[in-house]
Structure 1
């Protein structure tokens, strides 16, 4: 058990990477559409570029969406409408009619017409109205629309909607029926009686009507005809006309649905998994070979895999919603983010792999991959100094222009003309460019979540008006001035060998913040001529000097400085000795523990931290130069840096001897300028 735990502890970083690799692979495969890929590409009115195509199996020819929509409209216009017929209302209306009629007409011979005859005429009209029925509302159906009347006893009869009576027609019906020899007063009274007694007995049954419509729509056939196996579909070079296009689209749909059946689902799934795993493995191998410091950091590896998976997730969601909006996804955010935190080469490599993975699921995959890879290259080549807002806007504008130019070229190649070009697609590219601007707040979010540092944060930290640097300048002005000088030297050296100048400048500004606790114990802050070390033992003095590294780390963490900056505080003295107090103690006592006078380390482990150690030592020691000359400065720089090399302080840093020689040259030149050395002309 202990052996297993020891192995787990030693290899836990590698185990984590394997788990991350597997989970990312499975997640991406899960996002992929659960259909196969039709091996041929085709376009309407374009020649068929592949070999003669024969039907691989029997399949039905599917109707186009336009045909199906047209059939649906026709069915909606012809589907019968169900109405509820209430029984007994006609008899009730006749009784009410008789009562009200006798109340209104009391004379036996009113207005030159006999009362029984007038009554009978009205009664016949009531009976006629309720033979078909009276609607409760005007439903505005066509007169020839089929209507089915259903009673509570489920007795149904079918007739045309135009035969039903609407309440809005009641006055006209009464007047037309009673217009023979009646005075206007009699007509008005009869109309008034009818409005009082007539009640609608027909109402729309929405549930039955909807059910009937749905049943009719469900019977729509989605196919028209079929193709037999081995039947020739299209010949090589033949233009894809409307009929061939429909057949090819049907074959593509049928083929993709058949690929992922229960028989070979697992095999297709395995194939996708292998391809995705291969792409992600290439990314891991790239990190291991060319970005080993990133590969060793599990947080950074997780960050890279997370961004790749995020871009695939966003693209998949857009495709599932509407593939026409695929170019709205700001895929160029990926190389922008990776370049901001790492470098351009890693950003481009991850971007290309992501685009290759998306080629499995996007329509017109070649066109999409070409556009996105070119856009990624433009992003890498044009974006520099991302912390400058103008640079980002200029780069986004260039990316958008590249999208538009490439799409325009593809359209002309496909169509052979400009007519029919979709201006909406250009609008999508502009939206994509605007969405790319979200990279600035996204970088800030990533910094907080993953603890990474970008040039934007470094620029903020390099401001000498920050709270911590102001505190340093107030408590330890000499140290602050020393830090500024070291920052200038280190930045120049970094630019000379291609290191991260912004990072090293920030590291130099903060590397000695631990001296704020006891500023007077450091010579650069001793303005009164009194040295407090005179009252301490050599061991105590060495401890105070060494502790400024530990105190600096504590202060940095308290003020939430990034780990990359804290690395400079931790390693700027490496495992060197406090040589002055060590030699004093050795002169007094031969039995000296060298560990009491040695910094805890670690040694510098990058070009930037190695440069800071050189510049810090040279700048601090240069204060002791008396009557400096070019020769003295040359020997001075050589001695300090050569001694650090002899003590193997740069053993863990990926810095070459040639780069160290270049740094020496820069330091000599800078110190000569600081001390205003001039060429000595002969007298």
Structure 2
């Protein structure tokens, strides 16, 4: 039984020992899974529309229902396409005819006049019947009197007859259109336009509905016989033969036909065009021409490799670059990316950008210059730091260039625009400032766009002014779109990941916040020490271009762990007895060391951002507690309690901001021991502190340069001198009385002398 318990205990101990390795392996798998997922999502977004939204041929002459982009690189023989399109358009050319409304009105007026003249002759009682026949014969232009004339003279319903002739017989024929030559009806359709309509007022009419002159006259006779079947045949024949002479063509061949035929013959091109993947083949809403159809056909015909082969060919290079990106973050930003959520944040930012880019390219006709890669630079700089933002921007530029096309000019634009975004993230610390800087970013994007266009030797600036204007507008709007997306997604990352954006830091910098008020109440000395540390660190950060707002806020909160045991820290003693005098050195060092861990627990309780927690964790690095170490050495305990025993647990600062906070904390504490501080004394003290930390290796992982350290030393020296400026020493009350009595004695002596 005892052996079983021992074996079980051994397994538990083994699991406990292996737990860090298991956790590390788990985090490592998550990192690689995130990288693989990012590449797979990128490939899916790059290719899925080719399966779900294949290229569909829009209808000729109608507006394109959507923007169509090239799914791969291909060549298009524009010369052959224009020749073929011109030939087809010539064959399918629909002639234009002008409808002569006056001819139709004249015909109706002549028929009305004919009926009216017949009625007047009938009603004229002054004329004899013989005279009436003569007059009616003249009206109908007949040489002899016919039976039809005699019968028409006696017909009593001439007015009704005239209405039927105009509305039921003549108008239906003439309104269709009458043409002179049958050869002009060789096309299936005609375009008819009235003279008073605009240039676009064409009406397409099937050729079968248009009559030649002989067809119109024949149809007129047929309709007369069918509609007026109860009328005397002699009268019908008289009216038909007379009105047929009035019918004339009312459609004439337009001179515009020759102009349009000439335009068609002039459409030509001698180019062999190379389209890259992502280039626009047809814009949404633009009329579809035959050349557009031929362009889409050429695209489909030149498809050689299946999509899955293209996807597989790009999967491995993108995966390798993504893995190198992860390795870089793991090795050069070890502490920051020891948290899995930071990887999630990075790749989620990239995913949001990729989705935005795909939506814009799939459903709009904008070019790639509107895609807000600078959003990545702004967001990651404001939440992490500029070094991480730079390498992430490079990966984002590569991703988006692949998603659109592999143009070098576009990749250069994305890289420079993303770098400008990093600059905006470093400078813009308020929402209003962010918008103004985004406008400057837009202006910078326009300049970069124009430079990218200048990279092409064959670009014709005079002939492509519209392209330049549109591209410049898109590049400028790129900055505004990045600003909008930052405002939209920043609250999400703050809530979900506890990230520290600029706006969150501004809230935490309020000295009336609940945690700082609590610090002031419980540990007032620590509170004022923290405020000064924050100010010193912010001044140093401004001097070297680091995130001054972040380091200021971190300075305010870096010692909140001292609220647990405030009286064990010298700044809170107020001249009272030091409790460490009754404690062992081991216990004293443990109390000092524990304020870091307790500060982290308090920070998590108050949901401070992870970046602030990181700086609290690193603000001492692995520095030695000098006072207790020297005390141990003076007491001969150096062999028992080594220097490492008195070190803080760390880690060492892994960012410039953490290094500045470490320096500011140490310098502010050391400055309190200076007596009669002068500039030289203060500068020597700051140099000594920095030299000690540098020699101790505290800056090995934070990538702060020697040039930056010199600027920090000068800035801290000037700041400390401004804090400890000399004041005029006013005389004390007793000295004032003594001086007054002395002055009175002098005045009395003067009086006596006078």
Give the structure-2-normalised TM-score: 0.54
1:302 aligns with 2:344: yes
Name whichever of 369-378 and 462-471 sits farther off.
369-378
Name whichever of 414-423 and 488-497 sits farther off.
414-423
Partner secondary structure for residue 447 of structure 1: helix
Match of 2:33 among 19, 32, 48: 19
1:572 aligns with 2:572: no
Match of 2:315 among 273, 287, 302: 273
Match of 2:508 among 444, 461, 470: 461
How far the C-alpha of 1:480 sits from its partner, in A, is 1.5
Tell me how far apart the structure 2 counterparts of residues 541 and 292 of structure 1 sit (CA, whole Å): 31
1:484 aligns with 2:531: yes
Partner secondary structure for residue 297 of structure 2: helix
Match of 1:40 among 50, 62, 74: 74
Does the 8 Å CA contact 2:382/2:426 hold for their aligned counterparts? no
Per the alignment, residue 396 of structure 1 pairs with 438
1:626 aligns with 2:675: yes
Aligned residue pairs: how many? 499
Change beyond 3 A, Cα 1:43–1:394: farther
How far the C-alpha of 1:647 sits from its partner, in A, is 5.0
Per the alignment, residue 601 of structure 1 pairs with 649
1:437 aligns with 2:483: yes
Change beyond 3 A, Cα 1:369–1:414: farther
Does the 8 Å CA contact 2:538/2:552 hold for their aligned counterparts? yes
Change beyond 3 A, Cα 1:419–1:520: closer
Does the 8 Å CA contact 2:374/2:418 hold for their aligned counterparts? yes
Match of 1:252 among 299, 304, 310: 299
Tell me how far apart the structure 2 counterparts of residues 620 and 543 of structure 1 sit (CA, whole Å): 19
Tell me how far apart the structure 1 counterparts of residues 652 and 514 of structure 2 sit (CA, whole Å): 27
How far the C-alpha of 1:388 sits from its partner, in A, is 2.3
Does the 8 Å CA contact 1:294/1:301 hold for their aligned counterparts? no
Tell me how far apart the structure 1 counterparts of residues 568 and 273 of structure 2 sit (CA, whole Å): 90
Does the 8 Å CA contact 1:472/1:480 hold for their aligned counterparts? yes
Partner secondary structure for residue 47 of structure 2: coil
Does the 8 Å CA contact 1:378/1:398 hold for their aligned counterparts? no
Match of 1:336 among 375, 378, 382: 378
Tell me how far apart the structure 1 counterparts of residues 536 and 273 of structure 2 sit (CA, whole Å): 71
Map Cα deviations across residues 621-672 of structure 1 (whole Å, 9 max, x no partner): 3323333345544554455445545555555554456655554444444434
Does the 8 Å CA contact 1:351/1:376 hold for their aligned counterparts? yes
1:500 aligns with 2:547: yes
How far the C-alpha of 1:330 sits from its partner, in A, is 4.0
Change beyond 3 A, Cα 1:235–1:618: closer
Partner secondary structure for residue 525 of structure 2: helix
Per the alignment, residue 315 of structure 1 pairs with 357
Change beyond 3 A, Cα 1:43–1:357: farther
Change beyond 3 A, Cα 1:329–1:530: same
Per the alignment, residue 573 of structure 2 pairs with 526
Does the 8 Å CA contact 1:43/1:245 hold for their aligned counterparts? no
Does the 8 Å CA contact 2:625/2:648 hold for their aligned counterparts? no
How far the C-alpha of 1:475 sits from its partner, in A, is 2.7
Change beyond 3 A, Cα 1:343–1:615: closer
Partner secondary structure for residue 259 of structure 1: coil
Tell me how far apart the structure 2 counterparts of residues 524 and 664 of structure 1 sit (CA, whole Å): 24
Change beyond 3 A, Cα 1:301–1:577: closer
Tell me how far apart the structure 1 counterparts of residues 330 and 563 of structure 2 sit (CA, whole Å): 40
How far the C-alpha of 1:604 sits from its partner, in A, is 2.7
Unaligned 5+ segments in structure 1 are: 54-59, 71-141, 143-175, 180-232, 679-683
1:674 aligns with 2:719: no
Per the alignment, residue 30 of structure 1 pairs with 44
Map Cα deviations across residues 274-320 of structure 1 (whole Å, 9 max, x no partner): 34325434544654676565565543333222222322223223444
Tell me how far apart the structure 1 counterparts of residues 690 and 412 of structure 2 sit (CA, whole Å): 50
1:40-189 matched pairs, under 5 angstroms: 40=74
Tell me how far apart the structure 1 counterparts of residues 687 and 552 of structure 2 sit (CA, whole Å): 23
Does the 8 Å CA contact 1:393/1:437 hold for their aligned counterparts? yes
How far the C-alpha of 1:555 sits from its partner, in A, is 1.7
Does the 8 Å CA contact 2:567/2:579 hold for their aligned counterparts? no
Change beyond 3 A, Cα 1:485–1:629: same
Tell me how far apart the structure 2 counterparts of residues 394 and 249 of structure 1 sit (CA, whole Å): 43
Tell me how far apart the structure 2 counterparts of residues 590 and 289 of structure 1 sit (CA, whole Å): 38
Tell me how far apart the structure 2 counterparts of residues 498 and 371 of structure 1 sit (CA, whole Å): 25
RMSD: 5.1
How far the C-alpha of 1:488 sits from its partner, in A, is 2.3
Tell me how far apart the structure 2 counterparts of residues 631 and 402 of structure 1 sit (CA, whole Å): 45
Tell me how far apart the structure 2 counterparts of residues 408 and 588 of structure 1 sit (CA, whole Å): 71
How far the C-alpha of 1:514 sits from its partner, in A, is 2.1
Change beyond 3 A, Cα 1:368–1:666: closer
Tell me how far apart the structure 2 counterparts of residues 31 and 662 of structure 1 sit (CA, whole Å): 48
Match of 1:616 among 652, 665, 668: 665
Unaligned 5+ segments in structure 2 are: 1-10, 51-69, 95-175, 177-226, 231-267, 276-287, 728-754
Change beyond 3 A, Cα 1:546–1:433: closer
Change beyond 3 A, Cα 1:9–1:408: closer
Tell me how far apart the structure 1 counterparts of residues 399 and 310 of structure 2 sit (CA, whole Å): 16
Does the 8 Å CA contact 2:374/2:422 hold for their aligned counterparts? no
Tell me how far apart the structure 2 counterparts of residues 337 and 585 of structure 1 sit (CA, whole Å): 48
Map Cα deviations across residues 377-402 of structure 1 (whole Å, 9 max, x no partner): 54345554222233322233344456
Tell me how far apart the structure 2 counterparts of residues 357 and 629 of structure 1 sit (CA, whole Å): 56
Does the 8 Å CA contact 2:441/2:476 hold for their aligned counterparts? no
Does the 8 Å CA contact 1:488/1:505 hold for their aligned counterparts? yes
How far the C-alpha of 1:436 sits from its partner, in A, is 2.8
Tell me how far apart the structure 1 counterparts of residues 414 and 638 of structure 2 sit (CA, whole Å): 69
Map Cα deviations across residues 135-184 of structure 1 (whole Å, 9 max, x no partner): xxxxxxx9xxxxxxxxxxxxxxxxxxxxxxxxxxxxxxxxx9xx9xxxxx
Q: Which has the larger radius of gyration?
A: 2
Per the alignment, residue 199 of structure 1 pairs with none
Change beyond 3 A, Cα 1:475–1:33: same
Change beyond 3 A, Cα 1:658–1:317: closer
Map Cα deviations across residues 501-545 of structure 1 (whole Å, 9 max, x no partner): 332222221122222233344332334x43262884345655544
Give the structure-1-normalised TM-score: 0.59
Does the 8 Å CA contact 2:498/2:607 hold for their aligned counterparts? no
How far the C-alpha of 1:559 sits from its partner, in A, is 0.9
1:209-224 matched pairs, under 5 angstroms: none
How far the C-alpha of 1:447 sits from its partner, in A, is 2.8
